Amino acid sequence: MALANKGCMLHQKNQFQKHQMGFDGEHVAMNALNKLGYKGIQTTSHKHTFDLLSGRTAFEVKALDPRAIHHQMGVSATQKAKKLAWAVANKKKAKSVMVLMNDFAEVYIKGGVGKFRKGSMTKIARYDDWRLEVGAGRTDRLVESPLRPPP
């Protein structure tokens, strides 16, 4: 049996890490928004227009590695139009949430959907060890050690 293409496996690993960071970012954002007083926050399906929904608000969440060169989030013009149309049709206010995460997590929020840098957003939370404080995610990721089970 031939081994899979190494480049393909690396791409799959990177995609898995991105999805895992997005999943963790949504849970960190949900925790921070609950502390701000938003009630009934729910996660949505993978292909939904927004990432989190509460009673009157729809949240677009972007999780970034704090070592990224540019701490900014953005959506394309077509995505922005689609998101705003959905928000109007469903009578929800659109907001953007950026989560910078590694061992710590910083959460920023801004009204609307668009291209934002963290300096233009309001910082709402910091978790020094989000894995313990929020309870989402594990320190023993599958992508860190694919050949041996966690201890």
**Domain ranges (residues) in the chain:** 48-133
Q: How far is the C-alpha of 62 from the C-alpha of 64, rounded, in Å?
A: 6
| pTM (2 d.p.) | 0.80
Summarize the confidence of residues 59-82 as an average pLDDT.
Answer: 88
Q: How far is the C-alpha of 125 from the C-alpha of 147, rounded, in Å?
A: 36
Residue 151 has pLDDT above 60, yes or no: no
Residue 148 has pLDDT above 50, yes or no: no
pLDDT tens-digit map of 84-132: 999 999 999 999 999 998 778 899 999 999 999 989 999 999 988 887 7
pLDDT of residue 130: 82
pLDDT of residue 30: 92
- Tokens representing residue 102 in the block: 């590694």
Closest listed residue to residue 106, CA positions, set 127, 122, 137, 120: 127
Residue 142 has pLDDT above 70, yes or no: no
pLDDT tens-digit map of 23-49: 888 889 999 999 999 989 998 887 889
CB 45 within 8 A of CB 135: no
CB 110 within 8 A of CB 116: yes
pLDDT of residue 9: 81
pLDDT of residue 3: 54
Q: Give 78: exposed, middle or buried? Use CB within 10 Å, 0-12, 13-18, 19+.
A: exposed
pLDDT of residue 2: 52
pLDDT of residue 136: 55
pLDDT of residue 131: 77
